[in-house]
Structure 1
């Protein structure tokens, strides 16, 4: 073949290739578009994108706290949409990061660290104080608030520890536990306590941790990572097993551990990291490298629940008061579900006809209008908060009929609805980011606005 023929062959092949690629690109775009349209995302990223998150705790006032590596504790006041780091008062975060967090009924927050220390915050997570300088718990894995207000912590070094004075002093409570490497703790409405260990199974106490009784899973190379009960009283535990042994999974017991059954979760991965339930009784579990699964029938069937999740290394699950599900990851920060989990399975979402709109104008000075829509009559709460989570004012706090509403927020007189406005000593607000949040029935939503003077 001559040079000209070679060139012509190349040109012909190039033209054919171009036509083929055009068809391929068009077809691929069509398929991709159809997939994108048909696969509705469940999850979305938050503003915390590069962090290791170990646990969540939701306070009675609705604030949510997350334990992280580099910035101590993260806090959200808008059901997990945005998060603010708080490390003021932590003295050892470089090597001894926060691993566990809990909140009591008075909204006092406690944080346990990898270094064995416990910190307390009495101002909603803004500042922290070391409470146990004279007693080190050693590599805290979990910490919970008991129904009587006392604290229970589990560690890798000295097992279960009990505090009746807000974490100042601690007493070891390991009687009956063979290997005190405690990975998870739980207490349920009847007062019974459960402790999950590393390679020593699951334990139960009916006398506030005075004694413990083994109820299964004494298997080498397994860790009980979480313990939950559904609304029927069935006990569920997630087990982080070894891939080569195939001994991980989700297990359930309807008779307090006398008999156990492995749940039919369609995954080959053995690293089950967390479980949680919502107010409807749905169960959610996380598999470290395989996303989230959900059951709406008390664990009989499980479906994937990970559309829109950009990272599958999930370590912890949490839930907001309005049913939003949260996922803490290994190095990719915090994800949240786009809609409350209590509404997603319904053919017509309960919150579909509720709305909170972006304020206008935004940025604003000094006034802006906030609009919202109600599907049904109900008690409406619409409040404004500053960047630190402090309430600025209550714009609406009354019963409303269905319809569309507007309310004006004035930054010059933000405290006109506050009974304590005289004590604030502030006549107007400074420039910056503020949040407004609406709550009515099961609908809750928060948004940001910017004041520029």
Structure 2
């Protein structure tokens, strides 16, 4: 009798390389992961990458990194003993929401959150914005908003921690900064003492013509709360006296002022903080 041997067709191996560039440009792109079927690698700091010993067949190359859009290439063919170049140009950074802040409104028993839109995307009109996702620690996703505000009714008193993600057509941003909101009942709010000086973002913001500014004092302090225009000229003094420890709120009426950006500054003892607000007619 005779033995018969059969052999499979050896496809051969090749390689895939390329370069990633981002908008805005970054000097270190080593956070990017590159995946292609069963093969994977990470980018070098300059955005270049190389995958060797790749079996000859068709693939799609996918790149991803936290805070950037995920991009997939067209179908490519890896050819034996050859290098296939797949570049990724203008991969958009998906910026998070900025300046997240909020407060508990004792009149409505709602936590009102507010933030500024992503800076880079606003300036350059980059990857298409879809919505914001609002999260609370311990509860996860609370809901979505297409505006820069979100209101939520807390189920009980205590501290609540929030953050926001910006969702784009190409993916979602990293988390915004976290804001911690204390919810007290009406009686506790009168006697509550903060652990440190605080100056909250005014609410509503933008506003027309009234807005409320809230601040906290850990001990009795000489307080001056003043509003300025873009040229640094004093517009109004909202507080200029010695105030007791606790939470305080002051209403600012901008009747007679034009649309634009204004600043308010709190001096309390050695503490000083400046915030920005927008008046829209």
TM bin, normalised by shorter chain, reads 0.3 to 0.5
Query: Which has more strand, going by share of residues?
Result: 2
Higher relative contact order (CA 8 A, sep 6+): 2
Query: Which has more helix, going by share of residues?
Result: 1
Give the alignment's TM-score, normalised by structure 1. 0.24
Give the alignment's TM-score, normalised by structure 2. 0.33
Question: Which structure has the larger Rg?
Answer: 2
